[in-house]
Amino acid sequence: MDNGEEYRSKKKKVYYEKQRKRRLMIMSGVLTAIIAAIVFTVIYFYNFFGKFSTDGVSVAPNEVKAKEPVNILVLGLDIGDVNQKDNESIKRTDTIMVLHYEPKNNAASLISVPRDMLIKANKKNNKINAAYAIGGEKLIQSEIEKLIEADINYIVKIDYEGFRALVDAVGGVEMYIERNMHYDDDAQDLHIRFNKGETVLLDGKKAEEFFRWRKNNDGTGFANGDLDRIENQHKFINKLIEKCTSPAIITNIKGILDVLPAYVKTNMSPSKIISYGLGLKDLDKSNVTTATLQGDLKTIGGVSYVVYNRNMNIETLGLLSGSEDSKGTIKKKNLRINILNGTRITGLASRVSESLKTKGYSAIDTGNTQERSKTIIKTNNKEIGKLIVEDLGTGTIQDLEDNPQGYDAVILIGSDYKE
């Protein structure tokens, strides 16, 4: 190699070395920018979610791990006294819902509780919407847990001022008006005017009116009172979810982020809010189930109530048990089971009952049935059936059709059962 070629070779090496260093610098710069963006985003979100008020929730959270199913009690507070708007002790829960969310499947169930549901508070008949004013979050959480037979993990509270602000922040919600809605309440400064057949873009104020309407000035309205009102609310909520999960919502994000911490009170930590919020933003409407706790409409002492009827709520309670991917969320102590002895072995049902009680079951009835060779577990919840088969060591799962007592499962013990 002559001097000229050697010079050109060295020059080429220097050029490639400079190019390599330049690429490394660019990559390093890009990586630094990405890391900075991530750090900034994390700091921003923690700062944002840290603004949520926990002072207004007196009950400690019942924590669950990030990917486990969670039950969130959502309380919509009424105005209370127009002259004491900041006095929460006199407010009632105009809307009561339980959000059951399964992060693994990104699926949710929204279960409404009629505000006229009968409860016993201070040894007197009361409607459940009065529980908050009587005993705060502690009492209403306890009453809801009795009804749904499951633990509440977190509480979220919002009043109608916050509701209006949230609807305005998302840009309003378009609703088709299915019936005339004409109602006035001067005491609450509430004046509702919607005409059947209209399609209306509801801003926050109009959304509140639509959400609260129950009857007209002339007495016409929902045939089943609060139960039909809840169904109407579910229609609005589905439209709101549709709006909040659409790509177009990105233009309203800043407004939503400004509204939420200003009006929402919760005992949920910032990290949990971020975790659930990121999952819920991608929630498909097809993965959302809405339901209402049912009961018998009765008048007691001149007051109309919805009297809870467990037999009418078997399917709804099943929503809170989780999907098949959520095994372990079913609480054995809450299951109502009937064990029927289908063998000639005296006392077998009682012994099976005692065996299951050592494994966490508690509400068990026993009896006898016709002789059979195979053990059958009758239930309408496959997850419950699998759990019982596992604990019994045998059994075939079948649908539970005739169930007047409202059992979660009926076990028919066959001769194949081994003690």
Residue 367 belongs to domain with CATH number:
3.30.70.2390
Average pLDDT, the chain: 81
CA distance readout (Å), 122 to 77, 125, 134, 136, 200: 22, 8, 9, 13, 44
The residue out of 326, 343, 375 marking a domain boundary is: 326
- Indicate if 84 and 15 belong to the same structural domain: no
- Indicate if 351 and 315 belong to the same structural domain: no
Phi, psi at residue 403, to the nearest 5°? Answer: -140, 60
- Indicate if 129 and 237 belong to the same structural domain: yes
- Of the candidate ranges 18-27, 148-157, 406-415, the one whose mean pLDDT is the lowest: 18-27
pLDDT of residue 327 exceeding 50, the answer is no
The residue out of 326, 347, 381 marking a domain boundary is: 326
Taking the whole predicted model, whether its pTM rises above 0.95 is answered as no
- Indicate if 35 and 95 belong to the same structural domain: no
Provide the residue range defining the domain that includes 80: 70-326
The answer as to whether 110 is a domain residue is yes
- Indicate if 134 and 235 belong to the same structural domain: yes
pLDDT of residue 406 exceeding 50, the answer is yes
Span 28-87, pLDDT tens digits: 454 545 445 444 444 445 555 555 555 668 889 999 887 889 999 998 887 544 454 555
pLDDT of residue 123 exceeding 60, the answer is yes
Q: What percent of the chain has pLDDT over 70?
A: 81
- Indicate if 35 and 74 belong to the same structural domain: no
The answer as to whether 381 is a domain residue is yes
Phi, psi at residue 219, to the nearest 5°? Answer: 95, -15
Span 223-232, pLDDT tens digits: 877 788 888 8
Q: What is the largest CA-CA distance in the chain?
A: 114
The residue out of 326, 350, 383 marking a domain boundary is: 326
In sequence order, what DSSP letters do the residues of 85-137 get, joined into one string?
TT-GGG--EEEEEEEEEETTTTEEEEEE--TTBEEEETTEEEEGGGHHHHHHH
The answer as to whether 340 is a domain residue is yes
* Amino acid letter, 143: E
- Indicate if 240 and 358 belong to the same structural domain: no
- Indicate if 107 and 202 belong to the same structural domain: yes
Residue 381 pLDDT grade (very low, low, confident, very high; cuts 50, 70, 90): confident
Span 237-277, pLDDT tens digits: 888 888 887 777 777 777 777 777 778 888 888 778 778 87
CATH number of the structural domain spanning residue 208: 3.40.630.190
Mean pLDDT of 159-178: 90
Closest to 258 in 3D by CA, of 400, 162, 385, 147: 162
The answer as to whether 239 is a domain residue is yes
Provide long-range contacts, Cβ within 8 A and 24+ apart, for 138-143: 138/58, 138/59, 140/73, 140/75, 140/93, 140/96, 141/59, 141/73, 143/119
The answer as to whether 121 is a domain residue is yes
Give 215: exposed, middle or buried? Use CB within 10 Å, 0-12, 13-18, 19+.
middle
Q: What is the DSSP letter of 269?
A: -
The answer as to whether 62 is a domain residue is no
Residue 67's pLDDT is 84
- 3-state SS class at 306: strand
Mean pLDDT of 397-406: 84
- Indicate if 312 and 358 belong to the same structural domain: no
Q: How many domains does the chain have?
A: 3
The answer as to whether 419 is a domain residue is no
- Indicate if 157 and 213 belong to the same structural domain: yes
- Indicate if 276 and 336 belong to the same structural domain: no
The answer as to whether 301 is a domain residue is yes
d(CA 10, CA 3): 11
- Indicate if 365 and 408 belong to the same structural domain: yes
- Of the candidate ranges 13-17, 35-39, 252-256, 413-417, the one whose mean pLDDT is the lowest: 35-39
